[in-house]
Structure 1
Amino acid sequence: MLLPNFHTHLARLSLLLLVGLSTAAGSGCTKEAATPQPAVVAPAAPQPHLISSTLIGEYSTSTLAGRVADIPIAGALVRYPIRVYKLTYTTLTTDGKPVTASGALLVPVAGTQALPLLSYQHGTIQPDEEGRAPSYYTSGSEVWSAVSVLASAGYIVSAPDYLGYGASKALPHPYEHAASLASASLDMLRAAREFATQEKLPLNQKNFLLGYSEGGFATLALHKLLEEKAAAEFTVTASAPGAGAYHKSAFADYILTSTQPLNFLSTYVWVLDTYNRVYGINRPFAYYFNPPWAAQLQANPFSAVPTQAAELFTPGFRQGILTKTDAAMLAAFRANDIHDWQPKAPLALFHGTADDYVPFFNSQQAYDAMRARGASQVTLRPIAGGNHFSSAPTYTLQAYAFISQYY
């Protein structure tokens, strides 16, 4: 049962799951390619995955409870002291080259009992918010209070930075690129398991997945990768993605046909730039964006853009997507459509029904497609009347309750 003041109590707890929602773009290039290059599907990274581990800090139960003293629901979950480590590990870039990445590992001090792994995928972080990535745990202790509580409740939490943050910050973050979000998260799990073996931390072979917004998209991409490519290494016990843009092709049509103001268009600039670069399409910004926005975004990818799609996007780009003649970009969208497959493990799709950043149809269509394929353990969990921000507190509690059934 939810407490009457649930949204108030969990508003700050939800910061973890939002950790930066949606922002803007990167840089345009010049040479156009006929078709996208194939997406990376995370072959095993070179051994060993784990490169180094550094203890960031040790936190008592009283310290953890004090951080969330004004959030009774969160405080009640505090059970064990925790240790927080920064891990560096080997993963692959979007073009398949080895690179050193990083993340945070939060370990309950729980004696000799075997504990489960929980992979937490964070939400959007702008490049100028580098310090909010998981491996900078100490600089964002307020934001990371909730994930600390999850660890204190008895989960070993693996929190990848993704490419473009932490140890790999010299790379551009491949925003909303399913393959690299999933592979960076999987390789962090591999490094976490190696660390557990090295430190003689017993694991019980249960693996849980959580994340909201871009983290929700990354969570579902990771779930798919684990079951389809890494089932011999990890078995998904349960996953609970929230408010992800799972159906990129339908989302593109929604944006480009909309006549309503869309406050998230700066994030779509980032998505287009990522796909333009990662899939070798390499068109100039002037192909996608009307003047003066093309030149403005070329100079400052995170500058403000209009809220009307017709004002921002060129007629040629819009026509190519809507008439299904832009083969290169349509293929890039399809490569990031992760809504239509058959998961085996219990999966709960959480989404606010009034989400005006990532529309609810993303989760509805994922649920419909998965059920049609025979996925009997998929459930849709609408958050009635919730938008992208107000739904996060509800997601926080309900997602935790969902995975706790399988602890």
Structure 2
Amino acid sequence: MKTLSTRILVILFLLGTQSCKKKIAELEYKERGTLIEYNLKGTIPESGIVPRINEFDAQDIVQNGVNYYSITYRTIYEGKQINSRGLLLVPEHVDSAYLIAYFHGTQIPINLSAFYESKYETPSNYEGQGNNFIETRNIGLAWASAGYIVFLPDYIGFGATENKEHPYLAYDELFKSNIDGLLAVKQFLAEKGITYDNRLFLSGWSQGGGASLSAHKFIQEQYASEFTVTASSSLAGPYNLRGFMDDILSRKDEELITNNIFSWGLYSLNKFSPELKRPTDQFYSYPVYDQYSAIFTPSQIPSQTFKAYFLANIIDGSDAAMNQVINRNTFSSGWNPVGKVFLHHGDADEIVYYYNATDAMEGLGNAGGDVTLYTYLGGTHLSDVGLYTQNTLNDFNALK
């Protein structure tokens, strides 16, 4: 049996070895959005698409078999270059592209076989299964079989970057890897000889709904020469982050099922916003060392999760820096979308409240946007994937 000191030496050696490996494997500089590699993982024939879609009857949608690729691209994370990955779904025999970016919903970044495994919802891990990968199968495959090329980024914190913390609800940070993935997709299309005219459709569910609408704003402001946003279609997204935070704070002494989201969101906003980056003991009432301890709070009551003066300073506005970051990640008003905006929401959504959709409808409409709201009566956060997929396809088809 090895002595304790021997074991420590072995561990130190292994750590040193890993350190050397990291130094050797440092990334050569490349422009953000550079396509690093792509791999054809498989093909699902037309006859195999419908059995993989279980949220609705896709018989009338399916028209093509689908090739699925993992795609690796250069992006940036906390100011440093990193490779990230996504899934690209390409209908067979396509020679011109109608491109959809689909941003997936919230995934808890853990892999515990007895509890939950995010790897089975991470798009680039898809191997053609008929189970798990709910969004990839029911939304991505449906649209790809209908003739669209669909890009589904993993996000930083999942797949190839699962050792990094995910910028949850920090949409300005999340956008960086998503836009770099789209730039890499353009290179893929060029290499494959697929004609593409820069028109882009954006979409997403839940967290991805927020990513979709925020990307609509960021692309028209920063990447208009690369992409023209024809439309965005978002399901149950937290567009009004300001309203969500204020709502939680108004009920800070209640037990709330959204407290974990609130906690993770504040942790990420603090970590990924240059003007914040505060020690977590300045605002948490219990030890928080990483995103996992922020997600798994000891209480579902916000006032027992955060220090009283921190919450009070957000409520009364004296925490100007935190409020500025929250406002910066709110997209329900204050900008005029170029291209159409379609919002989809169940009016009984218990996770991302319905007012996110009505506030965005009003705020963006007042700014001059062309906004349509689909309200699903009695719909919850999980109930309307099929309706969203079919209605979005109809709307996008009308804009081709």
TM band (smaller chain): 0.7 to 0.9
Q: 2:282 is aligned with what amino acid?
A: Y
Is the alpha carbon distance of 1:72 and 1:275 closer, same or farther for their aligned partners in structure 2, counting shifts above 3 Å? closer
Structure 1: how far apart are the matches of 2:204 and 2:292?
Answer: 32
Give the one of 14, 25, 41 matched to 1:56. 41
Structure 2: how far apart are the matches of 1:283 and 1:115?
Answer: 45
Equivalent residues of 2:52, 2:129 under 8 A apart: no
Give the SS at the match of 1:359. Answer: coil
Deviation at 1:302, TM superposition (A): 3.8
Give the one of 297, 320, 324 matched to 2:317. 324
Identity, in percent, stands at 31
Q: How many residues align?
A: 357
Equivalent residues of 1:122, 1:214 under 8 A apart: yes
TM-score with structure 1 setting the length: 0.81
Which of 1 and 2 has greater Rg? Answer: 2
Deviation at 1:235, TM superposition (A): 0.8
Determine whether 1:382 maps to 2:375: yes
Output aligned runs, 1:8-19, within 5 Å: none
Deviation at 1:182, TM superposition (A): 2.1
Deviation at 1:393, TM superposition (A): 3.5
In structure 1, the partner of 2:21 is none
Give the one of 59, 75, 79 matched to 1:96. 79
Output aligned runs, 1:3-402, within 5 Å: 46=31, 49-68=34-53, 73-93=57-77, 95-112=78-95, 114-128=96-110, 129-138=118-127, 141-142=130-131, 143=133, 144-146=136-138, 147-258=140-251, 260-280=254-274, 281-290=276-285, 293-294=286-287, 300-340=293-333, 341-375=335-369, 377-402=370-395
Greater length-normalized contact order (CA 8 Å, ≥ 6 residues apart): 1
Is the alpha carbon distance of 1:71 and 1:159 closer, same or farther for their aligned partners in structure 2, counting shifts above 3 Å? closer
Unaligned runs of 5+ in 2: 1-29, 111-117
Equivalent residues of 1:265, 1:305 under 8 A apart: no
Is the alpha carbon distance of 1:265 and 1:199 closer, same or farther for their aligned partners in structure 2, counting shifts above 3 Å? same
Q: 1:152 is aligned with what amino acid?
A: S
Unaligned runs of 5+ in 1: 1-44
Give the SS at the match of 1:119. Answer: strand
Aligned CA RMSD, in angstroms, stands at 2.3
Is the alpha carbon distance of 1:189 and 1:141 closer, same or farther for their aligned partners in structure 2, counting shifts above 3 Å? farther
Equivalent residues of 2:198, 2:226 under 8 A apart: no
Equivalent residues of 2:33, 2:75 under 8 A apart: no
Is the alpha carbon distance of 1:333 and 1:54 closer, same or farther for their aligned partners in structure 2, counting shifts above 3 Å? same
Is the alpha carbon distance of 1:134 and 1:72 closer, same or farther for their aligned partners in structure 2, counting shifts above 3 Å? closer
Deviation at 1:260, TM superposition (A): 4.8
Deviation at 1:227, TM superposition (A): 1.0
